[in-house]
């Protein structure tokens, strides 16, 4: 079955599929099942809210040329790297070169805020500062691949990554982290050799080789603008996406430490991303405009008999807004709705941080001709 294609780690495709942890992402098996059910080999797939690129990767695995768009640099770098990782030798050589020059920051680390000195040992912090300012991850595939591997290990459980004890999927705030480390016996950053650790990570990731995909990509930027650049003659058969949920997840705050790593000399500054596309989308009017703009522009790129599959939040405003906008821009399609209540015992993102209220779950909205 298609949903079993990426289970385990017995193939290059399976090993690269889960590169980088990221909140609010599609389960891989779910993406494979949807694409297998609602498209055929050779069909083109569009995801204007690509996140970590699970839908695009699944499409590539199933021989569907797929295009995604992602505005968050962290999601984009994971998505694009796993579709086209650089040659292993180039990556390891680049890692060695960066590591050998870490001493440029022997004194620079002394100026870093307390959080960084508690989070990373001196050797790691010197390495990170040099990598941050010298990896051209936006334009160079080797640098992008190395940066994605660094980001995947930037914060994790003690001993599994480069940092002091932290969550793998999100970065807690500076003051919260310092307080937690002091209260729980983690006041000293663990001694980690970044070269040794990352070489092991690279060796594991490349053990079965690299994926060999053609015709699939994830573009970096704002869907409301990038969709204008698409050739309308190149039609898509499946629009498969999950827009951000109104008022729920702050993708930039959750990834602030990784975004810091990406904001060096060759990177992008977080403040360059429009405010309306950051935060939790608390402003309902801006949220509705975002969905309306993206789905309208996407509709011009779809075949007349396309399928639209959207996973969204069950909360009233998000669900009703999404349903209304999809009906507006795909008026000849039949709409069906599948409720996806949270599995019993599943711990949600907000519950991890003290919110014990009952969550409504998710909804799949499917439009077919």
Domains of the chain: 2-83+215-246+281-368 (3.40.50.150), 88-205 (no CATH)
pLDDT at 89 over 50: yes
Instruction: Return the closest-CA partner of residue 287 out of 312, 269, 260, 259.
Output: 312
| pLDDT in the model for residue 280 | 64
Rounded mean pLDDT of 88-108?
A: 97
Read off the DSSP letter of residue 230: S
**Mean pLDDT for the stretch of residues 56-68:** 96
The predicted-structure confidence for 45-59, as pLDDT tens digits, reads as follows: 999 999 999 999 999
Q: What is the pairing mode between strands 45-47 and 236-241?
A: parallel
Q: In percent, how much of the chain has pLDDT > 90?
A: 74
Quote the percentage of the chain above a pLDDT of 70.
89
Q: For residues 122-156, b (16+ Cβ closer than 10 Å) or e, as one string?
A: ebbbbbbbbbbebbebbebbbbbbbbbbbbbbbbb
Question: What CA–CA distances, in Å, run from 183 to 108, 140, 175, 179, 186?
Answer: 28, 42, 12, 6, 8
pLDDT for res 353: 39
- Residues 78-106: what's their mean pLDDT? 97
Q: In the predicted model, what is the mean pLDDT of the chain?
A: 89
- Is residue 184's pLDDT more than 90? yes
pTM for this structure?
0.90
Residue 346 has pLDDT above 80, yes or no: no
């Amino acid at each position: 079955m298609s949903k079993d294609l990426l289970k385990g780690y017995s193939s290059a495709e399976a090993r690269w599929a889960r590169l980088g942890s990221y909140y609010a992402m599609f389960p891989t098996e779910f993406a494979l099942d949807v694409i297998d059910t609602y498209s055929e080999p050779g069909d083109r797939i569009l995801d204007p809210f690509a996140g970590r690129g699970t839908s695009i990767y699944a499409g590539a695995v199933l021989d569907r040329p797929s295009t995604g768009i992602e505005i968050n640099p962290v999601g984009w770098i994971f998505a694009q790297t796993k579709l086209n990782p650089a040659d292993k030798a180039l990556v390891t050589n680049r890692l060695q070169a960066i590591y050998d020059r870490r001493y440029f920051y022997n004194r620079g680390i002394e100026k870093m805020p307390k959080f960084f000195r508690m989070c990373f040992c001196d050797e790691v912090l010197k390495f990170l500062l040099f990598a941050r300012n010298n990896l051209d991850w936006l334009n160079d595939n080797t640098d992008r691949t190395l940066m994605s591997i660094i980001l995947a290990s930037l914060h994790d459980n003690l001993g599994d990554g480069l940092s002091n004890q932290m969550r793998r999927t999100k970065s807690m705030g500076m003051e919260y982290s310092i307080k937690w480390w002091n209260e729980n016996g983690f006041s000293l950053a663990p001694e980690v050799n970044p070269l040794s650790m990352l070489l092991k990570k690279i060796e594991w990731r490349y053990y079965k080789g690299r994926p060999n995909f053609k015709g699939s990509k994830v573009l970096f930027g704002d869907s409301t603008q990038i969709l204008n650049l698409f050739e309308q003659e190149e039609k898509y058969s499946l629009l498969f996406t999950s827009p951000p949920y109104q008022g729920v997840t702050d993708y930039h705050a959750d990834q602030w430490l990784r975004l810091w790593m990406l904001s060096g000399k060759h990177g992008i500054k977080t403040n360059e991303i429009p405010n309306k596309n950051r935060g939790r989308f608390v402003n309902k009017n801006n949220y509705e405009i975002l969905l309306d703009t993206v789905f309208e522009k996407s509709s011009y790129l779809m075949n007349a008999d396309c399928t639209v599959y959207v996973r969204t939040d069950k909360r009233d405003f998000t669900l009703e807004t999404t349903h209304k906008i999809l009906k507006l821009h795909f008026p000849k399609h039949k709409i069906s709705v599948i409720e996806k209540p949270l599995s019993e015992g599943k711990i949600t993102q907000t519950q991890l941080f003290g919110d014990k209220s009952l969550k409504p779950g998710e909804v799949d909205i499917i439009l077919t001709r």
